[in-house]
Amino acid sequence: MSAKSETILVLDFGSQYSQLIARRIRECNVYSKVMPFSTSPETIRTEAPAGIILSGGPASVYEPGAPQIDPGIFELGVPVLGICYGMQLIIHTLGGQVAPGSAREYGRAVMNITDHSDLFKDVSASLKVWMSHGDKVVKTPDGIKCLARTTNTEYAAIRIEGRRIYGIQFHPEVVHSEEGSRIIANFCRRICGCNGSWTMSSFIERTITEIREKAGANQVILGLSGGVDSSVAAALIHKAIGKQLTCIFVDNGLLRKNERPRVEELFARNFQMNLVTVDATNRFLDKLAGVDEPEAKRKIIGHEFVQVFDDAAATIPNAVFLAQGTTYPDVIESVPINGNPSAMIKSHHNVGGLPKDMKFKLLEPLSALFKDEVREVGRQLGLPEDVVMRQPFPGPALAVRHLGAVSKRTLDILREADAVMVEEVKAAGFYYKTWQAFAIFLPIRTVGVMGDLRTYDYVIALRVVESSDGMTADWVDLPDELLRRISNRIINEVRGVNRVVYDITSKPPGTIEWE
């Protein structure tokens, strides 16, 4: 191996928790990187990691076609920690045997630690941990030492003596496992020797230098949406190269209330950035007229955005780089990775929707960061908290929160209703506690009575969900009084609405957005 870096690699075997493992490592101020399980020892050697973690996964190691690992990874001379499937794979690869257990172990279990020397240093003797397995170790390879056990699992944690290879049958990365963060920290800091130098201040300092070196004297353009990622990317690049950055803000007529003046005030006037605003409202609405199929709306919006953005970019001389607010989950989820059972493509992410003949070079300064890290970078760069903590907003904007074909009138109805809802949710203290809270326009009209008059107006649905990553979500049980206040205000203040309903569907089976 070449000189060791301050990086822990997470080899992904299809676990739903692989990104969470990487985030927990970052919380120890150690840089982490997720790579597919099929990554060769030669490629890993070039990364010069301080350690390697093998994730869990849904397969059984003895099944035909189950993900396996190159045994050469165990010869690289760096510590290895296998979690759940990863531990069983260590046993299986090094000459032991794994078989179906007589009793499966899912959910919380009490684990008793028998060795506190390194992985469990300063950890309590008995812990509640989160188990998720139906297989168990029935034959151990040479040199194994048991570090912990439960009533159902004799080898809940193991070490291969003399080789710095560890395995744990539980999931320390989930909040259900007591002292899981300390266990991960022990592996990263105590066993792998990382000093904990990965901080957002060090990231900012290093990235500013990299941006300056990469951009040189060239101009950089960035599509500024007003969301967290593009806002932080703009602030970071501006800190590095100042007036060499030009942000392009496209008003497509599908944005939230007061979005355009808010962006212009913050970035052009407060931060003194070069900002080009393009009012393309009529262009987008003309193209969307009469289109009610969700995917067709998305494609029209995506195609028009590229055209409008290209036209604006052509007016900026010496523009060589296109900057994006791509984040690390975007990279993991958007790029197909050979042999990675959990890989999937999300075409609506930045990294999945670029034209093949793009004339610009890419600049993606946030592509190594998770969302919480992006927010912290934004804070350190002086962005206001209401920008840093803003909830996710879909790329196609209100078009996917407006069922059916859009029009200026009905979009205005949705904009006003959404503004009322967000204002009330913020005032009640729920906005920053939830993943997303927004209104949806339903293209149906219902009979109502307002005063002594019969009305025949539209319906607004309210959607509030809690989630950690957007992959799964549950609806939030808002207080009755808050829902009553939101409903009353929308019906009284937003002309064209006479009925408000609340969405109580989780994901799955529903999605967070309605389209």
The tokens for 383 are: 């962005």
The tokens for 156 are: 């809940």
Residues 180 and 174: beta-carbon distance below 8 Å: yes
Residues 57 and 103: beta-carbon distance below 8 Å: no
Placement of tokens 């240093």 in the chain: 121
Tell me whether residue 84 is one of the annotated catalytic residues.
yes
Q: Which residues are within 8 A (CB) of 96 and not within 5 positions of it... i.e. 6 or more apart?
A: 137, 139, 140, 141, 144
Neighbours of 190 (CB within 10 A): 15
Tell me whether residue 402 is one of the annotated catalytic residues.
no
Whole-angstrom Cα distance, residue 180 to residue 297? Answer: 44
Whole-angstrom Cα distance, residue 420 to residue 485? Answer: 10
Neighbours of 515 (CB within 10 A): 18
Whole-angstrom Cα distance, residue 237 to residue 365? Answer: 8
Tell me whether residue 171 is one of the annotated catalytic residues.
yes
Q: Which of 6, 28, 84, 515 is catalytic?
A: 84
Whole-angstrom Cα distance, residue 253 to residue 319? Answer: 26
Q: Which of 133, 171, 238, 349 is catalytic?
A: 171
The tokens for 112 are: 């008793």
Q: Which of 6, 105, 173, 424 is catalytic?
A: 173
Placement of tokens 């529903």 in the chain: 510
Label the pairing between strands 126-139 and 80-83: unpaired
Residues 403 and 441: beta-carbon distance below 8 Å: yes
Amino acid at 282: N
Q: Which residues are catalytic?
A: 84, 171, 173
